Homo-oligomer: A and B are copies of this chain.
Amino acid sequence: MSDMTTTEHLHLDPDRLFPADPRTRDIARELFSEVANLAILSPHGHVPAEWIADDEPFADPTSLLLSPDHYVTRLLHASGVDLAQLGVGGTAADPREAWRIFCARWGLFTGTASAGWLEHVFSHVFAVSEVPSAATADIIYDRISRSLATPEFRPRALFERFRIEALATTDDPLDDLDAHRRISADPTFRGRVLPTFRPDKYIDPEAPGFANAVARLADQHGIAVDDYRGYITALEERRAHFVARGAVSADHGVADAYTTVLDADDAAALFRRAVRGKLSPAEAREFRGHMLVEMARMSVADGLVMTLHPGVQRNHSSVTFRDFGPDSGHDIPVRVEFTRGLRPLLERHGLERDFHLVLFTIDETAYSREIAPLAGFYPSVFIGAPWWFLDAPDAIGRFRAAVTETAGFSRGSGFIDDTRAFLSIPARHDVARRSEAAFLARYVAEGRISLARAREIIVDLVDRQPREVFKL
């Protein structure tokens, strides 16, 4: 692993991510200026609502910016660093030592999405002017630490400084959503913080903790643990609770996009065996596929936007999972299929008024082949913004090129930052807006669309689209 020996000033090019060709770059700059300062809409992400509700100061640079960021810790791990040295998964690590390791290996991140986001955070949020390195690690650590101790760096202050208008969290169906209640009840804070219903472990018999989750649900609702109709009603009631607390969407992280419609008796029979852990993998898939259609049915009824995130093999390394828990950097994508898998769901609900189904993928091959064609026909289907490993400038460009010629610009979800790295939210939206400007600028430069039309579109993508698709 080569360490970066050059000592350079941390400098963010004001024209970064714009195409090199001078005329195209001028157009991109102009388009970006239309949206650079628009409020941030973040309809799907993982920031804890408690941060905003409690408004406590962040503890230190490492626990805020390093330990929980699996984009960063995974690449350090690949280079030979023990995750325990980085405080991953709650392991006890010396924060300053962890930070030194990170800065000494900063060169690993050159060219990655994370480097761009972190440079933006360092430079724009903390006014750090040093490029991270072994030599500058302590300087940067101390600068950030001092900032975090000031009121200007408390969560709510940053929320406002970042011009966030709405921020969705991701929540367990049994969460009482008290943090959300406190935030919306507080007249001194104007930002919207919306819960999101995330029922994976309540509807997927193969999800870790399924039996326990269903048992708690049954317990809370006073029903027998294997009462399928009671279970369905309980899920509906939990969704109603989320709607009452301001939720606009329900999110589904599933192994694949397989759906199926079972009759209620068959579903009930599977459910009774599922809560006892008796389903074969094929039966579990049937039940999960059925429950996705049930979730769609409930979305039609209660209006929650349904977002689908399929196709990841979670916790690829069992040893790492045992030692550091989930989200520790070894979730690996797999191929995914939508056309056949979603057909039963779409046959039943695809033409419903006001049903919104947003499809995300880490398998880029699905963009032009399946997702754009589906969203180009079904009024309910929207093309999710590039997700996870694909949430980076080149990948955003490939995404846009893959879907636009089939589905135009109108069928997308708007940008989704999908992050728990609260401080990087402006950086991520900045990268997305610049990437959209770069793409549109090329179409203008190639005479495919007018500059006037491109101006309209970029505002649409950044502002109107997330509002409409997520019913904000």
Contact = CB atoms under 8 A, between A and B. Distances in A.
Interface of A: 1-2, 4-6, 8, 11-13, 15-21, 23-24, 74-75, 77-80, 107-113, 115-116, 313, 316-320, 329-335, 337, 339-340, 343, 346-347, 350-351, 362-365, 368-370, 372-379, 381, 389-390, 392-395, 398, 401, 404-411, 442-443, 445-450, 452-453, 456-457, 460, 464
A219 to B, nearest CB: 36
Contacts of A19: 20, 446
B111 A404 contact: yes
A408 B329 contact: no
A373 B334 contact: no
19 contacts: A2-B410, A4-B456, A6-B453, A6-B456, A16-B448, A20-B21, A20-B446, A75-B407, A78-B377, A78-B410, A80-B379, A111-B443, A313-B339, A316-B346, A317-B377, A330-B378, A335-B365, A362-B368, A389-B406
Contact of A318 (B16, B347, B365, B377): B347
Contacts of A107: 410, 453, 456
B373 A364 contact: no
Contacts of A398: 401
- Best-buried of A74, A80, A389 by chain B (most CB within 10 Å): A389
B377 A330 contact: yes
Say how many copies of this protein the assembly contains.
3
Contacts of A77: 377, 379
A184 to B, nearest CB: 30
Looking at A112, A334, A351, A372, the one whose CB has the most chain B CB atoms below 10 A away is: A112
Nearest to A369: B333
A379 B335 CA distance: 23
B363 A390 contact: no
B317 A457 contact: no
Contacts of A448: 16-17, 111, 116, 393
A175 to B, nearest CB: 30
A82 to B, nearest CB: 10
B372 A406 contact: no
A406 B267 CA distance: 40
A79 B13 CA distance: 39
A414 to B, nearest CB: 13
A470 to B, nearest CB: 16
A346 B317 contact: yes
A109 B4 CA distance: 42
10 tightest A-B contacts by CB?
A: A13-B447, A16-B447, A392-B405, A20-B445, A111-B404, A20-B21, A332-B339, A20-B24, A394-B401, A74-B377
A34 to B, nearest CB: 14
Given A116-B448, A373-B333, A409-B111, A340 B317 contact: no
Contacts of A112: 404-408
B333 A316 contact: no
A343 to B, nearest CB: 6
B332 A316 contact: no
A261 to B, nearest CB: 13
